[in-house]
Structure formats: structure tokens, C-alpha cells
Amino acid sequence: MESLEERVARLERQLADALDREAIRALAARYCHAVVAGGGMPLVDLFTVDGCMQGDAIPAIGRPASETRGRAELIRVYGEFTTRLSLRPFIHNHVVELGPADPPTGASGALAGFGRDEARGICSVEIRAVEDGVAYDIAGHYHDRYRREDGVWKFLHRHFVLYYWVKAPR
């Protein structure tokens, strides 16, 4: 049977994990609200300094696959995208995997470089968009990596995987 100290320590770890997961889910929600607001610094501030946004090709609008890295490029690309399109993203089915408290020494593969201040996640996204008066329905998901910087969870890498981008029925 666990001692009182062991039970308290276990409960403290569980609470810390729950708070970290909730902070990461709130990060994804803030991302959606920042996209709706038009991007800019509130959106870019959700990424680490070396943060990266990767996107699949979007044939419907002639956009090739892309990878945008660093604050200056994120500001430029999000600025272009949110100026051209009115976007309303809706995130759901968000699953977060926190890094281990004590990462294994010499870990390789999936656990390499994955410590307590890092996490992974996946979430579904449905987006309502309008460009030049044409409405689109968009669906996909994000594969995310997060890093805690100065006590705040941010996107290290966000990869948008496109399922479809079609004109919305009228």
C-alpha cells in the first residue's frame, strides 16, 4: 500500500499532467481565435522562437506544400493567408501526449528528445472559409509538437494535414 507521501506525490503528478493538457488544449483554442482575428503577432506568439508551420498542398487554391520556420516567416505567411481568406477554424478530438517526467537515457526513435517540457498532440479541424465571395468547407487535422518555454506551452511544430478543401454548397 502507498504511503501518504507517495499518494500525495502521485496526485500532484496527475494534477500537473491535467493542467499541462488543459494548457495545451487552450493553446489550440487561442490559435483558432488568433486566426479569426487575422493573424499577426497574437498568432505568431503562440509558436516557439524556432517554431514551424507545415502545410500539405491545397490544390483547390493552387497552393503547394509548405514549411514556414521562424517568427519573421510566420508573420509573413500567416499575414498573406489571413488577408486573402476569411477563416473560421473549429478544433475538436484533441489528444495530447505529455513527455515523460524522466526521459530514458540514450532514447532513440519516438522518445528521442522528448522530455517533460515537450508534448505531442493531434486534433481534428473543420474550417469555414471565404475567398473572393466563394465559400469553402475544409477539413483535416493537425499533428503538433509543443514545447514549454518560460512556463508557457507553445507550438514547436504544427503540421496541417488536408482531407479536403471544397466549395461549400449554396
Residues sharing a CB contact under 8 Å with residue 100, sequence separation 6 or more, in sequence order? 111, 114, 115, 116
Per-residue pLDDT at 106: 56
Note the pTM of the prediction, 2 decimals: 0.88
What is the pLDDT at residue 107? 52
The low-confidence residues of the chain, meaning pLDDT below 70, are 102-114
CA 152 and chain centroid, separation? 14
* Percent with pLDDT over 70 in the chain: 92
Q: Which CATH number fits domain 4-100+116-167: 3.30.360.10, 3.40.640.10, 3.10.450.50, 3.80.10.10?
A: 3.10.450.50
**Which DSSP symbol is given to 3?**
-
- Name the 3-class secondary structure at 152: strand
What pLDDT is attached to residue 86?
93
